[in-house]
Amino acid sequence: MEHADGDLLTYIKDNGTLSQHLALVYMRQLSEAIKYLHNEKNIAHRDIKLANILLCSKHNCIKLADFGLSNFY
């Protein structure tokens, strides 16, 4: 299991708003993750929030976490 460097909520609280470039990178990665879950795995996450978006150690990628409320469809 990979080590996450924290979540997006804590990062924003500590550092303020994201730059436009970083926000676009994270949004693209999040949309790709949701697309993969829906189209390939037929999973609805149902609890996407800043606290469930984990950051990689270099803050250049995200991981979606907490599938406790997710559901197959």
Three-state secondary structure string covering 40-66: CCCEECCCCCHHHEEECCCCCCEEECC
Catalytic residue among 7, 14, 47, 66: 47
Instruction: Give the strand pairing for 53-55 and 43-44.
Output: unpaired
The answer to whether 37 and 48 have CB atoms below 8 angstroms apart is no
Q: Is 47 a catalytic residue?
A: yes
Catalytic residues: 47
